[in-house]
Every structure is written in C-alpha cells, then in structure tokens.
Amino acid sequence: DTAVSQTPKYLVTQMGNDKSIKCEQNLGHDTMYWYKQDSKKFLKIMFSYNNKELIINETVPNRFSPKSPDKAHLNLHINSLELGDSAVYFCASSQVLGTGGGYTFGSGTRLTVV
Amino acid sequence: AQSVSQHNHHVILSEAASLELGCNYSYGGTVNLFWYVQYPGQHLQLLLKYFSGDPLVKGIKGFEAEFIKSKFSFNLRKPSVQWSDTAEYFCAVKEADKLIFGTGTRLQVFP
C-alpha cells in the first residue's frame, strides 16, 4: 500500500494551461504539504493543511491554489502555467506537531511547461 | 526564521570510504532535525531524525548523525559507503510544523 500517492507522475503541458495534481495519504496523518523542488534540487514548502484547514501559505503566486476536500487529500491546482513552474512537486504528510514523527513524501510529480 | 546550510554540495567517494556530510542550522533552542535521502528519480526517504535525548542518532542503512548543540550542527556519517549510497542527501529542521531544507549534497560513490 502506497502511503502517500500522487498523480500524475509526469505532466507535460503548454504555457497558459491549467492543470491539477492530486495527492492522497492513507497514514491517518493530520497534516499535508506541498513542496516544490527546483532544477537545482532545492526544496521549498508551498502550502500546509491541517485537518482541511490552510495553515501555511508561503510566498507562492496566487495562480497556485491548494484544495483539501478531507484530511486524506490535498490537491494542487495551477492556473496559467508559466515556464518557471517547471519543477518536481512533492506532496507530504505528517502527524500533528510534537508527536515525534517525520514527514512521509510522495513520489513526486515532474511538471514540464513548454 | 531558521535556515539550514549544507556546505558540501558534491562529494565523490570510493566504495568503503568513510562519509561525513555537514549540516548547520541557524539558531538554537529546541530543534527537531532530520536527514532525508533522495535516490535518483525517487522521492525523499527519512534516514534518521533527532527530537531529544541521545545526541548520537542511528538511522537506517548504517547511517548515523550527531547533534552538537554548541555548534548548531547535525552532521551525517557512515563508516563505509557503498555504491548504492549514491544519492542526494538533505538535512532539514522543523519550524512551526514545516520542514526547512538545506540545499542538499550530491554523493557519488564509485566502485
């Protein structure tokens, strides 16, 4: 059973399009995240949700909109895609702060904007 | 805000060599520290973590890390690397329920 699963694994699209990436976790974790890994492998948090509530929203263009229908799902919708959005997007989940757990990452979605 | 520095950007070793990757975080207090590994084309996997207690933390695949509070460091070590350890290694610190990552160290191990 995959703990944190993302779809699609690869996404190639043209500039200006709108696309979504889906994430689901079956670990019973309360918190989910989106991280962006750029071409230099640098990882930066974008969003965090706890029990469907947005708790972290870093400096991300408002073309990016996360949606959490329930605590097991966190989707990422991107409008008007730009070349600079090309990256690998990782979903992750964790237990509530302070319980000693780490973060479990999904396998990533490689987004290429052409 | 916290920041994490990994000064070794690219490390090349032969099999059986010993490994030490540096990690420094920016300020003290209670810290939760992590090392993650990313094998080529794969997602991040947790190697080990430090929350409290013994500052020498043992992880998976023979890795260990030592938390030295006075040096704001959490260096990763392995006494004898294998070709299969070729990967990207990320140090991270937890801040307000998010992970702040270092820029990563690329390790290449040659047979």
- Mean pLDDT value across residues A76-85: 96
| Peptide bond connecting A8 to the previous residue in cis, omega within 30 degrees of 0 | yes
Phi, psi of A70 (to 5 degrees): -155, 175
Question: Residue B81: what pLDDT?
Answer: 97
Nearest CA to B16 among B108, B79, B86? B79
Question: Residue B68: what pLDDT?
Answer: 94
CB proximity list for A112: less than 8 A, separation 6 or greater: A10, A11, A12, A13, A86
Which residues from B are below 8 Å from A27, CB to CB?
A: none
DSSP label at residue B22: -
Q: Is the pLDDT of residue A102 over 80?
A: no
Nearest CA to B88 among B46, B40, B53, B21? B40
Of the candidates B34, B88, B97, the beta carbon closest to that of A31 is on B97
Strand B4-5 to B44-50 pairing: unpaired
Q: Is the pLDDT of residue A36 over 70?
A: yes
Q: Is the pLDDT of residue A59 over 80?
A: no
Cross-strand pairs, B25 = B4
Question: Residue A65: what pLDDT?
Answer: 93
Least confident of A10-19, A33-42, B80-89: A33-42
Nearest CA to A98 among A57, A56, A50? A50
Distance from the B15 Cα atom to the nearest Cα atom in chain A, whole angstroms: 24
Q: Which residue has the higher pLDDT, A60 or A113?
A: A113
Q: Is the pLDDT of residue A7 over 90?
A: yes
Return d(Cα B103, Cα B98) in angstroms, integer: 16
Which residues from A are below 8 Å from B88, CB to CB?
A: 41
Q: Does any CB of chain B come closer than 8 Å to the CB of residue A27?
A: no
Of the candidates B42, B90, B98, the beta carbon closest to that of A48 is on B98
Phi, psi of A83 (to 5 degrees): -55, -40
Distance from the B68 Cα atom to the nearest Cα atom in chain A, whole angstroms: 19
Q: Is the pLDDT of residue A57 over 90?
A: no
Least confident of A12-21, A53-62, B34-43, B56-65: A53-62
Which residue of chain A has the CA closest to B39? A107
Q: Is the pLDDT of residue A100 over 80?
A: no
Q: Does any CB of chain B come closer than 8 Å to the CB of residue A45?
A: yes
Question: Residue A50: what pLDDT?
Answer: 86
Mean pLDDT for each 10-residue chunk of chain B (111 residues)? 90 97 88 93 90 93 95 96 97 87 95 91
